[in-house]
């Protein structure tokens, strides 16, 4: 239906008010002369660091040349022998290898990320006009391009990197989830902060150079590529001991070069961190003039809520992907999670505490939230803008733009596979989220806070048997409830004891990993008194026996849960009750499938525990690779762990391949194995990601199944007039 004259007039009037709001009286922020001098000194120091690195390369090259040119007279003066030849060739080979790997980072290029969506002034005229007027008020250059992406952030930067440094070639990038969660004043304040950096023309350019050098150092110190892998593989597969010595010497020089870079990286970081913090304080002064001293804190905290909401939305998208689905509008989904977060006072308080109570550290490039808020409130400035309209008001057809940008985001992440996914509306995704929350809360009440779930329990009865009468069914259900209630006081201590023993076993296993891999460690850190591998193996075995006994003590709890579920399902199967359970028809009809799924997952629980431990250990090994890559025992342990993890994941897939996924899947009927591990696991270090994804999906499915049963139990109890019974075991108990 076309818009009428009144609607069009209202839209024009709103646009005019928004543009008027962007015309502010902003005082220029003066930069102290000492700050500018300090920035020049830091930038000069940062530029000298790469020059120093080049000098080291030249020095090493000169050393190799000097050895090649002058050593023959000393080594071969009395004739050529095999060992003299080795002592001549090995330094040349190792030095050349070191030089090659030191030069390689200078020319290394990062893979380019997928380009964000650029919005033309014809497509979004109001946004472009608003930004232009805001920049004029701030006295800063306006961006030549405005782009949008899926980040929970906004940024202004040089459009073409270093090529744009000498002019005013800027780009503004707006994260649509960020825009959707702020009002116009808050968004304008954030933009004022970003554009405020560009009011410091010289400082911003020096900062860009400093940041680029820092980023380069971090990348070349920690990134590995195919060259590194080939060199390490060649050292392991060397045809002779002499060749291996030369290769290992080359690896040592590569490692040494990265150690030098590591030192330079930290020197550069310390040099630049202070100046970076001062730039943030200066940019905050622009933001404060827009939102006022009183508006800085709520804007800053709102950004924290949106960041957490973005993480939660990403998590839900991953869950949807496991079922072959995708949310159509990621920014809208982020707002759903933001509203959920704001409903819980405890979560808001935690966000406030984490964002405002930290301290600024020596290596921090940004001041702590508390320092920034204190600095802003100390200025005592009234807000220049008070526009509370949503930030999306600056866009033409924001919903369509969000869906288009979301689609591009998925295509960049999933490639051609995106066409195989079904799209889910924000409303359906939100409804699924609410259902999941309800199931989780029901599981917490019925299953002692979910404590019992971690043990991998499953129903013993899979075929519901209807209660002979409603009265006998209610009696059985009351008896089961009383049994569960009587156990509540003891569940906490039993589960806590099991958790302590299990944590002890995990620590011993980690100490054993360090010992087996030849890594240095302090026994006290892992609660042991020895580094001996044999003693640690024995200690781990005895702790495993202790853990099994602790699990046995939980059996009465498992039995009570089962009895309550059986009694509730028996009542639900009675026709007098089932007619009143319209909300739970799906769960009741799917009860056997859910039970079979839980039993299948429970059967893999020991494998899953081993998989979880192996992922932790592989992560430790990956972190120590830079330090211990030359040690044979370390490499052997890493290879063994990769193969073992791959084998465990394969066994899990085999066990779950015959069990159908019990819920609706976009690709139709699939096995639990296909749901948990949709792509073939890789037999290399990437197995960490494959195993982690499988663990997350299996745990999600396990919790969902028990949540469905717990919700059914509570619904039946409500229908027959039994009050809600909260068995959640909380930490204070």
| 308-345 pLDDT, tens digit each | 999 999 989 988 888 889 999 999 999 999 999 988 88
User: Given the DSSP bridges, would you call strands 325-327 and 154-158 parallel, antiparallel or unpaired?
Assistant: unpaired
Alpha helices in 447-469 (DSSP H): none
Query: Is residue 732 predicted with pLDDT exceeding 60?
Result: no
Query: Is residue 110 predicted with pLDDT exceeding 60?
Result: no
Report the share of the chain in percent with pLDDT over 90. Answer: 43
Predicted TM-score of the model (pTM): 0.76
pLDDT at res. 648: 95
pLDDT at res. 563: 93
- Yes or no: say if 103 and 259 are a contact pair by the CB < 8 Å rule: no
* Cross-strand bridge partners of residue 154: 174
Question: Highest mean pLDDT: which of 64-68, 155-159, 263-267?
Answer: 64-68
CA distance 661 to 659: 7
Length of the chain, in residues: 733
CA distances from 486 to 475, 492, 557, 640 (A): 17, 12, 10, 47
Instruction: Name the DSSP letter for residue 723.
Output: P
Question: Highest mean pLDDT: which of 53-67, 297-311, 665-679?
Answer: 297-311
Per DSSP, the residues of 491-535 read: HHHHHHHHHHHHHHHHHHHHHHHHHHHT----GGGGT-S---HHH
Query: Is residue 186 predicted with pLDDT exceeding 60?
Result: yes
Per residue in 242-254, is it b (16+ CB within 10 Å) or e — as a string? eeebbbbbbbebb
pLDDT at res. 180: 94
Other C-beta atoms closer than 10 Å to the C-beta of 309 total 23
Q: Which residues contact 208 (CB under 8 A, 6 or more apart)?
A: 158, 162, 165
Q: Which residues contact 422 (CB under 8 A, 6 or more apart)?
A: 324, 325, 326, 666
Distance of alpha carbon 121 from the chain centroid = 35
Q: What is the pLDDT of residues 435-482, one digit of tens each?
A: 888 899 999 999 998 777 889 998 887 777 788 889 999 999 999 999
Q: Which residues contact 574 (CB under 8 A, 6 or more apart)?
A: 466, 467, 469, 470, 473
pLDDT at res. 248: 62
CA distance 320 to 328: 11
CA distance 385 to 292: 8
What is the pLDDT averaged over residues 171-190?
A: 93
CA distances from 496 to 444, 500, 501 (A): 16, 6, 9
Mapped onto helix, strand or coil, the DSSP state of residue 424 is strand
- Yes or no: say if 519 and 510 are a contact pair by the CB < 8 Å rule: no
pLDDT at res. 243: 63
- Residue recorded with tokens 């948990």: 676
CA distance 702 to 662: 11
Per residue in 153-191, is it b (16+ CB within 10 Å) or e — as a string? bbbbbbbeeeebeeeebbbbbbbbbbbbbbbbbbbbbbb
Vertex 268 angle, CA 264 and 271, to 5°: 140
pLDDT at res. 578: 81
pLDDT at res. 313: 93
Q: What is the pLDDT of residues 47-80, one digit of tens each?
A: 676 777 778 778 878 888 887 887 776 666 666 6
């Amino acid at each position: 239906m076309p818009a009428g004259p009144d609607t069009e007039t209202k839209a024009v009037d709103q646009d005019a008010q928004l543009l008027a709001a962007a015309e502010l009286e902003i005082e220029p922020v003066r930069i102290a002369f000492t700050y500018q001098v300090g920035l020049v000194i830091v930038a000069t120091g940062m530029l000298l660091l790469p020059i120093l690195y080049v000098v080291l390369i030249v020095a090493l090259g000169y050393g190799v040349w000097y050895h090649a040119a002058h050593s023959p007279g000393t080594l071969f003066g009395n004739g050529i022998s095999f060992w003299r030849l080795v002592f001549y060739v090995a330094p040349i080979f190792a030095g050349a290898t070191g030089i090659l790997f030191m030069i390689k980072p200078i020319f290394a290029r990062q893979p380019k990320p997928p380009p964000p969506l650029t919005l033309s002034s014809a497509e979004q005229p109001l946004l472009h006009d608003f930004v232009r007027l805001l920049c004029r008020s701030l006295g800063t250059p306006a961006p030549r391009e405005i782009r949008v992406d899926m980040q929970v952030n906004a940024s202004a930067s040089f459009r073409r990197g270093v090529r744009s440094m000498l002019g005013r070639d800027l780009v503004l990038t707006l994260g649509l989830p960020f825009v959707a969660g702020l009002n116009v004043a808050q968004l304008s304040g954030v933009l004022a902060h970003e554009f405020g950096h560009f009011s410091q023309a010289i400082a911003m350019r020096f900062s860009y150079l400093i940041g680029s050098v820092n980023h380069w150092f971090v990348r070349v110190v920690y990134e590995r590529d195919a060259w590194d892998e080939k060199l390490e593989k060649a050292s392991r597969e060397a045809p002779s001991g002499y060749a291996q010595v030369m290769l290992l010497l080359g690896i040592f020089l590569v490692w040494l070069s990265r150690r030098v870079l590591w030192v330079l990286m930290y020197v550069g970081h310390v040099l630049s961190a202070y100046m970076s913090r001062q730039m943030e304080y200066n940019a905050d002064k622009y933001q404060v003039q827009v939102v006022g001293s009183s508006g800085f804190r709520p804007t800053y905290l709102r950004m924290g809520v949106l960041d957490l909401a973005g993480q939660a939305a990403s998590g839900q998208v991953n869950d949807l992907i496991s079922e072959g689905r995708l949310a159509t509008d990621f920014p809208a989904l982020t707002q759903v999670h933001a509203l959920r977060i704001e409903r819980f006072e405890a979560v808001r308080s935690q966000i406030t505490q984490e964002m405002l109570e930290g301290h600024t550290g020596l290596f921090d490039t940004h001041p702590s939230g508390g320092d920034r808020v204190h600095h802003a409130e100390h200025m005592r400035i009234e807000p220049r803008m008070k526009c509370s309209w949503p930030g999306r008001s600056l866009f033409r057809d924001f919903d369509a733009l969000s869906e288009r940008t979301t689609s591009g985001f998925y295509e960049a992440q999933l490639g051609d596979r995106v066409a195989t996914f079904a799209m889910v509306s924000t409303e359906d995704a939100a409804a699924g989220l609410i259902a999941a929350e309800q199931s989780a809360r029901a599981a917490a009440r019925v299953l002692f806070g979910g404590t019992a779930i971690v043990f991998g329990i499953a129903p013993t009865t899979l075929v519901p048997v209807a209660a002979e009468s409603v009265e006998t069914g209610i009696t059985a259900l009351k008896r089961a409830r009383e049994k569960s209630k009587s156990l509540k006081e003891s569940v906490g201590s039993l589960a806590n004891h099991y958790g302590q023993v299990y944590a002890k076993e995990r620590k011993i296993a980690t100490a054993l990993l360090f010992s087996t891999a030849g890594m240095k460690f302090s026994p006290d850190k892992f609660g042991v008194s020895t580094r001996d591998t044999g003693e640690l193996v024995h200690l781990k075995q005895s702790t495993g026996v202790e853990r099994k006994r602790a699990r046995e003590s939980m059996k009465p709890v498992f039995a009570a849960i089962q009895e309550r579920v059986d009694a509730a399902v028996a009542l639900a199967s009675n026709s007098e009750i089932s007619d009143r359970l319209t909300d739970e028809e799906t769960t009741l009809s799917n009860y056997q499938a859910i039970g079979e799924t839980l039993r299948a997952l429970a059967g893999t629980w020991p494998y899953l525990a081993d998989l979880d431990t192996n992922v932790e250990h592989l992560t430790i090994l990956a972190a120590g690779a830079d330090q211990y890559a030359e040690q044979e025992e370390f490499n052997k342990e890493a290879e063994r762990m990769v193969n073992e993890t791959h084998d465990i994941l394969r066994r899990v897939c085999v066990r779950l391949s015959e069990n159908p996924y019990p819920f609706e899947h976009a690709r139709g009927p699939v096995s639990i194995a296909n749901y948990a591990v949709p792509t073939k696991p890789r037999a290399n270090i990437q197995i960490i990601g494959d195993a982690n994804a499988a663990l997350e999906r299996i745990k999600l499915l396990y919790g969902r199944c028990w949540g469905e049963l717990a919700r059914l139990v509570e619904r039946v109890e409500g229908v027959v007039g039994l009050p809600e019974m909260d068995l959640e075991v909380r930490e204070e108990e």
